[in-house]
């Protein structure tokens, strides 16, 4: 009995220690919670912006909402706009709106004063204010002057859903064009506080997570996206930007419209002129060849099913299909091949965000969502490449030349990015050298070779042939 008590007491103590959140105490945002934007002197938009949540303005009047094409509700207490999912509330509207807004703005000022005055920072002037490329742990960070994230750089905020991050910024905050804030490990935008004394600017195409508590004004320029809140003691200006104020973080996607694979998505490997393996390879999912016959499935030791519509192999968890098998297999394959060709064309027609990025030498780089176009070969050297984004973000890589992944090199996904949202649209041959690792969908106009020990999460859809040399593909 006594020893049981001791055990449960020590387990309990351990649990409390393990559950404690890291970083400073949370900042109390009070009654600002429903506001995606709360400002004191004005909120403007260059249509169309998209704001999820409410927008509040006090003490200035509704005259200082610009670009929203407001429709005043018959109650007179709020207005609506096609750019805002919630309500727009101004100090000039009918009671109880003015009193509610003055208490929200007072809570916002108190939150800024608290966040910006916390003492004993864990980090002082980290990176001299240049935080692109850094991974930030929970804590209190203080910069005496400005902070910026360089163009296309990523700053990763890493922690659990209960960890707290407070960034005290004495000057301006500048997220430059195409830069990104990425949350990792379950960290929440609502636990990330950017307390900024100067102007905060989220430039074109940049993405931010967190709550911007600004003493001055905040601008989200064309195509900028943000999960979190903007609570500004001056003005907020949006230019065709997206602010997601009350949905869970990570619900806004960045990058191009996804490429539909149609029925080609039923295959882990689909090829027009053959699929070969040097045993033992391992394929999870189905394999198809068309218009070529089953004789072009080599190295599989096929066992034809009694139905005649498919075969099996010890190297494939699914089924193998060929144009020479019994109906309906040939017709199904014809449609799948046509869908694969359409997907290749659509992927190549996407408008590029980045052209000739790094001259095609992408080893050691971190790639953010978007469309990348190269008219040359692309090489991933032994340093590998990192692809960063949320589970909703999309990536298209248009490669006019060959695509070569060096021996032992890995494509690594971070931030929750998914192989199914990554398209490698390659006009010339694709070669994964020995022990290389690929993530994504390869849409190849010609041959794809996975050399000995190479592994892949995704699909290979080739308009010619696929050669596996004791390789692994998980569809
Ligand atoms: C607020 O609106 C008034 C009247 O339309 C205008 O004169 C003033 O410049 C606006 N203030 C800001 C900060 O936009
Ligand atoms: C942000 O940084 C970029 C690149 O250094 C610079 O061109 C731009 O003027 C800065 N913007 C602000 C508002 O400081
Ligand atoms: C193939 O994919 C389509 C959707 O694209 C689906 O409706 C169909 O059932 C799939 N066929 C097989 C055999 O899995
Ligand atoms: C790849 O890794 C293996 C084993 O770790 C090593 O023997 C081989 O030399 C490496 N190859 C290259 C090209 O780095």
Distances in whole angstroms, Cα of residue 437 to Cα of each of 68, 266, 380, 444, 453: 49, 22, 11, 17, 9
Q: Whose CA is nearest to atom 7 of ligand 3?
A: 263
Q: CA 367 to CA 404: how far, in whole Å?
A: 17
Ligand 2: residues whose CB is within 6 Å?
148, 172, 174, 176, 201
Which of 244, 274, 294 is a domain's end point?
A: 244
Q: Is 3 part of a structural domain of the chain? A: no
Domain shared by 385 and 268, yes or no: yes
Q: Which residue has the higher pLDDT, 319 or 253?
A: 319
Which ligand 4 atom is nearest residue 407's CA?
13
Q: Which residues contact 346 (CB under 8 A, 6 or more apart)?
A: 259, 260
Specify the pTM. Answer: 0.55
286 pLDDT tier (thresholds 50, 70, 90)? very high
Residues 155 and 106 in one domain: yes
Kindly state whether residues 203 and 280 are assigned to the same domain. no
- Rounded Cα distance between 461 and 336, Å, is 10
Query: Does residue 185 share a domain with residue 218?
Result: yes
The closest of 450, 439, 414, 444 to 428, measured between CA atoms, is 444
Q: Where does ligand 4 bind, in terms of residues with CB under 6 Å? A: 382, 407-408, 435
**Looking at the CA of 383, which ligand is closest?**
4
- Cross-strand bridge partners of residue 469: 278
The per-residue pLDDT of the chain, averaged, comes to 91
CA of 61 to the centre of ligand 1 (A): 9
- Same domain membership, residue 157 and residue 291: no
> In ligand 4, which atom is closest to the CA atom of 382?
14
| Helix and strand counts by DSSP (H, E) for the chain | 3, 46
Show the domain range for 72: 30-244
In a domain, 23, yes or no: no
Task: Identify whether residues 185 and 275 lie together within a single domain.
Answer: no
Number of structural domains the chain divides into: 2
Shared domain for 213 and 101, answered yes or no, is: yes
- Give tens-digit pLDDT for 347-372: 999 999 889 999 999 999 888 888 99
In-domain check, residue 4: no
Share of the chain above pLDDT 70, in %: 94
Ligand 4 pocket mutation, candidates 380, 384, 408, criterion most atoms within 8 A of CB: 408
| Nearest CA residue ID for atom 13, ligand 4 | 407
Q: Which residues does a 6 A CB cutoff place in the pocket of ligand 1?
A: 41-42, 60, 63-64, 235
CA distance 284 to 459: 10
Query: What is the number of the ligand closest to the CA of 59?
Result: 1
Are 174 and 310 within one domain? no
CB 288 within 8 A of CB 465: no
Burial class of residue 319 (count of CB atoms within 10 Å of its CB; 0-12, 13-18, 19+): middle
Residue 12 inside a domain? The answer is: no
Label residue 3 by pLDDT band (50, 70, 90): very low
- At which of 196, 214, 244 does a domain end? 244
The residue out of 214, 244, 274 marking a domain boundary is 244
Among all bound ligands, the one having the nearest atom to the CA of 90 is 1
pLDDT in tens, 316-348: 999 999 999 999 999 999 999 999 999 999 999
pLDDT of residue 186: 82
> Pairing state of beta strands 123-124 and 147-149?
unpaired
Query: How many angstroms separate the alpha carbon of residue 437 from the centre of ligand 4?
Result: 13
Residue 284 scores a pLDDT above 80: yes
- Per-residue pLDDT tens for 120-167? 999 999 999 999 999 999 999 999 999 999 998 999 999 888 889 999
Does residue 251 register a pLDDT over 70? Answer: no
Residue 231 pairs in a beta bridge with: 38, 213
């Amino acid at each position: 009995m006594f020893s049981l008590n001791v055990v449960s007491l020590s387990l309990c103590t351990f649990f409390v220690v393990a559950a404690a959140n890291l970083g400073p105490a949370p900042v109390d945002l009070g009654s600002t919670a429903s506001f995606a934007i709360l400002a004191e002197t004005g909120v403007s938009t260059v249509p169309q912006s998209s704001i999820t949540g409410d927008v509040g303005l006090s003490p200035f009047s509704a005259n200082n909402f610009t670009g929203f094409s407001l429709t005043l509700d018959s109650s007179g207490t709020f207005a609506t706009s096609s750019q805002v999912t919630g309500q727009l509330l101004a100090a000039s509207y009918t009671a109880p709106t003015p009193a509610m807004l003055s208490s929200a703005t007072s809570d916002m000022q108190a939150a800024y004063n608290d966040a910006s005055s916390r003492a004993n920072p864990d980090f002082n002037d980290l990176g001299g204010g240049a935080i692109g490329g850094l991974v930030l742990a929970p804590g209190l960070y203080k910069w005496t002057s400005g902070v910026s994230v360089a163009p296309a750089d990523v700053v990763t905020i890493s922690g659990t859903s209960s960890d707290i991050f407070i960034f005290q910024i004495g000057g301006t905050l500048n997220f430059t064009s195409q830069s990104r804030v990425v949350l990792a490990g379950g960290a929440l935008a609502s636990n990330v506080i950017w307390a900024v004394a100067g102007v905060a600017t989220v430039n074109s195409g940049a993405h931010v997570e967190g709550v911007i508590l600004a003493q001055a004004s905040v601008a989200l320029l064309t195509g900028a996206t943000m999960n979190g809140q903007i609570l500004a003691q001056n003005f907020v200006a949006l230019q065709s930007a997206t602010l997601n104020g009350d949905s869970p973080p990570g619900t806004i996607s960045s990058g191009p419209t996804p490429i539909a694979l149609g029925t080609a998505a039923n295959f882990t490997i689909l090829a027009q002129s053959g699929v070969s393996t040097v045993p033992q390879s391992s394929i999870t999912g189905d394999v198809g060849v068309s218009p070529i016959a089953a004789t072009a499935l080599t190295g599989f030791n096929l066992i034809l099913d009694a139905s005649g519509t498919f075969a099996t192999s010890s190297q494939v968890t699914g089924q193998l299909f060929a144009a020479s098998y019994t109906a309906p297999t040939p017709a199904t394959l014809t449609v799948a091949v046509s869908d694969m060709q359409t997907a290749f064309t659509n992927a190549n027609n996407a408008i590029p965000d980045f052209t000739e990025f790094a001259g095609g030498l992408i080893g050691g780089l971190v790639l953010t969502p978007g469309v990348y176009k190269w008219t040359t070969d692309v090489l991933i050297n032994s340093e590998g490449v990192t692809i960063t984004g949320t589970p909703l973000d999309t990536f298209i890589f248009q490669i006019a030349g060959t695509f070569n992944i060096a021996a032992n090199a890995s494509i690594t996904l971070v931030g929750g990015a998914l192989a199914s949202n990554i398209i490698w649209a390659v006009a010339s041959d694709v070669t994964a050298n020995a022990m290389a690792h690929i993530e994504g969908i390869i849409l190849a106009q010609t041959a794809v070779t996975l050399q000995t020990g190479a592994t892949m999460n995704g699909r290979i859809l080739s308009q010619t042939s696929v050669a596996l040399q004791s390789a692994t593909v998980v569809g």
